[in-house]
Structure 1
Amino acid sequence: VYICGGKTNHDHQPNSDLIQTKRLRQDMKQRDLNELTPIGAIYEEETAKASVDRTILAAFPTNQEIHHALFATRRKLEPPFPSSYSFGIPDLYKLIINKERFLLFDESRAD
């Protein structure tokens, strides 16, 4: 017997399909937050490697349906648009992959 929040007794088995679906969505969301891989590629890779029943995948949201939610999550990590032309660039965006400076000269600050 599982007691949810101390209010209701549940005497049924857990819904494994729902658990697998939530786990698949959670895996996609984690990859979306940690990688710059396109959302469509994440969707395809995760659904391909998921060990879930075909009926679960048939009921799972399509790439287009889940793209909006994942894109909104990814957008929250980006810095807001500047409100003026004078703004600081976060250190994360000042370097390229091999840790070299991306912006060597800012023409807007030229005398």
Structure 2
Amino acid sequence: MSTAPSLSFSISNKRKQILICDGFIFQLNRTRPRLKYWRCKDRTCSAYIHTDHKNQYVGKSGDHNLHLPVPEQVEVALFKEKVKERVLKETTAIGKIYDKEMASLTLSDGALNLIPLPEEAKASLNRLRRQTTPPLPTSSFFDVPDAYSTTTTGAHFLFSDTVVRKKRVILFATDEQLRMLFSTKTIMIDGTFSACVPQFDQVFSLHCVKFSMCYWVVAWSDCYNIQACLRGIGCSSSTS
């Protein structure tokens, strides 16, 4: 009795499941009540694999007579799936995810030649991430998602969320940024109206000077009283 081939599965660029077997890539061709029929990705090929609905191997038909296995394309498909999985689950910068995954995988020269450059893949990955991005709030009363209240390393980022004179004030800063703020002698304030969503009046940010460089340390929204916010984070309003 022949041994059943090893099957693995991945996701295509069109977000459809693909089957990988012996260096060949198969696409789902049709589904029946008991079986799923997978056809070789190469349309000139007559090879099929049959699985049940639990993706267990049942049988095959046809042969790969007209082309060789495509292990490089398999490597690329698995790489793309890993990148997309992280893009959907994390808020890490897409370029950083892409570079880290390329560095962590041992890819063949053929696969490296097929993998798109980060700049080429960025547009499609951005569209993918936007599918999981929470919609903009329609009022100033909403829950800040966990992904925006902590940093990518798990540090606390939502510093304060209060209501002052019937207006919501949200402050973002890590403990390290606050320590840097409290130890500086120079604080700079920047504000904008155009980059603020309609539900808030404006966005302010605090910057401090350290080692002759300017660092962003605190951001807050809907703050019409700068002195009140400075007192709220422990800064004297007389600080220059």
TM-score by length of 2: 0.37
Point out where structure 2 has 5 or more consecutive residues left out of the alignment.
1-20, 30-36, 41-45, 48-62, 168-240
Letter in 2 for 1:22: A
Aligned to 1:81: 136
How far did 1:86 drift?
4.8
Change (3 A) 1:73 1:22: same
Q: Is the 8 A contact 1:28 1:46 kept in 2?
A: yes
2:74 to 3, 9, 19: 19
CA distance in 2, matches of 1:19, 1:52: 11
Q: Is the 8 A contact 1:94 1:103 kept in 2?
A: no
Q: Is the 8 A contact 2:91 2:147 kept in 1?
A: no
1:105 to 158, 162, 176: 162
Aligned to 2:108: 53
Letter in 2 for 1:79: P
CA distance in 2, matches of 1:35, 1:6: 32
CA distance in 2, matches of 1:80, 1:26: 25
Letter in 2 for 1:104: D
Alignment of 1:53-72 (within 5 A): 53-72=108-127
Query: Residue by residue, what CA displacement relative to the aligned partner does 1:34-64 show, whole Å, maximum 9, x if unpaired?
Result: 2222111111111122222122212211101
Aligned to 2:94: 39
Higher RCO (CA < 8 A, seq sep 6+): 1
Change (3 A) 1:54 1:102: same
Change (3 A) 1:108 1:79: farther
CA distance in 2, matches of 1:60, 1:94: 31
Point out where structure 1 has 5 or more consecutive residues left out of the alignment.
none
CA distance in 2, matches of 1:94, 1:52: 34
Give the SS at the match of 1:81: coil
CA distance in 2, matches of 1:100, 1:43: 25
Which moves more between the two structures, 4-13 or 62-71?
Answer: 4-13
CA distance in 2, matches of 1:95, 1:47: 29
**2:93 is the counterpart of 1:28:** no
Q: Which has the larger radius of gyration?
A: 2
How far did 1:25 drift?
0.3
Hey, which of these two has a bigger chunk of helix by percent? 1
TM-score by length of 1: 0.72
CA distance in 2, matches of 1:94, 1:59: 35
Change (3 A) 1:21 1:85: same
Structure 1 vs Structure 2 CA RMSD: 3.1
CA distance in 1, matches of 2:127, 2:158: 29
Aligned to 2:14: none
